[in-house]
């Protein structure tokens, strides 16, 4: 009986030591992965990296991590013009089935899903809105974006008629969607009138409708869905064979 008690105590102690070693190892790995991801993506700050699943050491022995969660705040995505950037306020990715090389220099996830947010003023800034002629003596431009409710975006348009700015802006409810996995498209549901004049649809849509590329996201993840919210656009991202590091 005494020998059994001693054996149980030894097992408990060894189990505790294993847990401690396992947690130390996973914390070290998370730090290393975060530093490499920061360097690979030229990030201004160190991202959050969390390796899920227990025990960690058995996952390492198998060469595949069950799940890795990554959080990046303030990611600067490309807009397709080679110069302008668009700021992603909060990018979160949940990566499953992460295979890594023997020297840990590279890691690739079998699949990834996540979310991101883009503020309305950021989307408007990169859309490069400027006064555009829509008819003789009439120019207009988009000056604001906001949540229109019921999954719509509200586009605020200011118009100038023969040199006089209209006293009130025109608001247009628009549908927002993702095109080709890298572009957010905004399209008016109904067209406004300026100064009581109904203009040709093609002319008005030069103002109300626009699209914005958001590409070059970490690891090759792409846009999947987009939904207007109170403070900006909520975007769902997805990807396969997503490169975490290397």
DSSP string, 81-111: SSS-EEEEEEEEEEEEEEEE-TTSS-EEEEE
CA 175 – CA 186 distance, rounded (Å): 6
Q: Please, what is the average pLDDT of the chain? A: 82
What is the reported pLDDT for 157?
Answer: 87
pLDDT digits (tens, 9 = 90+) for 108-144: 889 999 999 999 988 888 766 778 777 778 888 888 9
Contact indicator for 220, 112 with CB cutoff of 8 Å: no
Q: Report the alpha-carbon distance of residue 180 to residue 163 in Å, rounded.
A: 40
Query: Residue 52 above 60 pLDDT?
Result: yes
φ/ψ of 11, rounded to 5, equals -60, -45
Q: How confident is the model at residue 145 (pLDDT cuts 50, 70, 90)?
A: very high
**Helix or strand or coil: residue 198?**
coil
| pTM, to two decimals | 0.81
- Given a cut of 80, whether residue 16 has pLDDT beyond it is no
Q: What is the spatial distance between Cα 210 and Cα 212, in angstroms, rounded to a whole number?
A: 7
């Amino acid at each position: 009986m005494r020998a059994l008690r001693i054996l149980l105590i030894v097992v408990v102690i060894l189990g505790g030591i294993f847990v401690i070693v396992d947690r130390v190892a996973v914390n070290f790995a998370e730090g290393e992965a975060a530093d490499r991801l920061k360097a690979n993506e030229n990030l201004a700050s160190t991202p959050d990296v969390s390796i899920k699943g227990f025990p960690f050491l058995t996952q390492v022995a198998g060469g595949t991590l069950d799940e890795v969660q990554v959080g990046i705040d303030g990611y600067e995505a490309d807009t397709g013009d080679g110069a302008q950037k668009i700021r992603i306020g909060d990018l979160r990715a949940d990566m499953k089935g992460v295979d890594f090389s023997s020297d840990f220099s590279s890691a690739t996830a079998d699949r990834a899903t996540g979310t991101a947010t883009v503020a309305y003023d950021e989307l408007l800034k990169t859309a490069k809105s400027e006064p555009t002629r829509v008819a003789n003596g009439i120019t207009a431009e988009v000056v604001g974006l906001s949540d229109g409710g019921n999954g719509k975006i509200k586009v605020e348009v200011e118009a100038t008629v023969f040199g006089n700015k209209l006293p009130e802006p025109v608001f247009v409810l628009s549908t927002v969607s993702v095109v080709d996995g890298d572009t957010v498209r905004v399209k008016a549901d109904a067209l406004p009138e300026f100064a009581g004049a109904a203009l040709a649809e093609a002319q008005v849509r030069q103002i109300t409708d626009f699209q914005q590329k958001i590409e070059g996201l970490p690891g090759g993840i792409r846009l999947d869905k987009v939904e207007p919210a109170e403070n900006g656009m909520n975007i769902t991202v997805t990807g396969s064979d997503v490169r975490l590091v290397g």
